[in-house]
Amino acid sequence: MRERILALVDELKRRKADGDELVYVAPESIAALRTAVRAKQGAGAAQADAAPSRRLADAAPAIDRQAPAVLPVADEPAFEMKPYRKPAPAVVVEQGPALPEPPSFTVPEGDKRMRWEWLRDRVLNCPVCKANLNPGKQIVFGNGNIDADIFFCGEAPGADEETQGIPFVGKAGQLLIKIISAMGLSREQVYIGNIMNWRPQTGQATGNRPPTEEEMAFCLPYLMAQVEVVRPKVIVALGNTAVTGLMGPDKNRRLGKIRGQWFDFKGTPLMPTYHPSYVLQYGSNAVKRQIWEDMLTVMERVGLPISEKQQGYFR
């Protein structure tokens, strides 16, 4: 019962994060939530409205999470998750640092490796990127196989990435690598980059914040140039920020509605899906299955073989 309630709460939070404001919750589920709230707060606490259609903000009670929020799965899971741990809330900034116009440059003609190294050198020496680094930290440029068919694009470096100077080496990165290996690939066979080359500063010792539109616009030419050099068959945009960075801002766009469909990024097919950190946070089986379905679509598009076992993950 406890796991089902946690799964329901995760699903409600996921739908809320996707922008749904109202959702139908079956009376049995509300009764189960009430019981959980009573158990936590005492019999007097549960005086919620009995109407089956509820505001999402009201429908997710605080429940201690000592157990992992993982549903039993029928088939073998493709990628396992660590027990849920609430992340530090994202820091919201009204305005980021003032930035100059986005850089304008042309990658010289020539050998692919030479072009990639020229670009990497240019980014690692970008004065604006350097000026926006946290003290003692590093610029993070894309890495992996420059002949890759699949280009994974994330948001921005986190604490681990800015320390090591490599994208996706923290917890979200470990999950991304598990997803990649469930696809039958290794990190060395794909290319991994980010919208941002630096970790957006928060002015605090901990916590992340999403990049501002201006920050994303500044870094976009560097990402576009990586796509131009690598020439992948597809780009996988991981999460809302990557989608916004690549497709442009749109307040009405909902990742939950557009994921799994193909879009175009300057001639390269683009697949939006959830960010691995979203799976770590709202890791219901439904979310894992959705990401996995998106990856199956990507595999099909680039001509990777798909086994029956892979088809069955999270079914």
Rounded to the nearest 5 degrees, what angle is found at the Cα of 202, between the Cα atoms of 256 and 153? 40
Q: Which lies closer to ligand URA via its Cβ, residue 194 or residue 284?
A: 194
Give 61 or 142: the residue with its C-beta nearer to ligand URA: 142
Taking the complex as a whole, how short is the minimal distance between the CB of residue 193 and ligand URA, in angstroms?
8
When CB distances to ligand URA are compared, the closest residue is 154
Both tokens assigned to 190: 């794909």
Q: How far apart are CA 298 and CA 310, in angstroms?
A: 13
Largest alpha-carbon pair distance within the chain?
Answer: 73
123 membership: H or E segment, kind and range: helix 112-124
**219 phi, psi to nearest 5 deg:** -85, -15
CA-to-CA distance for 166 and 228, rounded, in angstroms?
20
Nearer to ligand URA, 12 or 235 (CB): 235
Amino acid at 307: S
Contacts 24+ apart (CB under 8 A), 86-89: 86/281, 87/277, 87/280, 87/281, 88/206, 88/207, 88/208, 89/207
To the nearest whole angstrom, how small is the minimum distance from the Cβ of residue 176 to ligand URA? 8
List residues binding ligand URA (CB under 6 A).
154-158, 161, 167-168, 170, 172-173, 194
- The least distance separating ligand URA from the CB of residue 242, rounded to whole angstroms, comes to 7
From the CB of 53, what's the least distance to ligand URA, in Å? Answer: 35
Among residues 96, 180, 188, which one has the least CA distance to residue 147? 188
CA gyration radius for the chain? 21
Alpha-carbon span 104 to 84, nearest angstrom: 43
Residue (155 or 215) nearer to ligand URA, CB: 155
One-letter amino acid identity for 240? N
Least distance from ligand URA to the Cβ atom of residue 208, Å = 8
CB of 280 to ligand URA, least distance (A): 11
* CB closer to ligand URA out of 46 and 238: 238
Cβ proximity to ligand URA: between 73 and 124 the closer is 124
Q: Give the shortest CB-92-to-ligand URA separation in angstroms.
A: 17
Identity of the residue, 168 or 218, whose beta carbon is nearer to ligand URA in the bound complex? 168
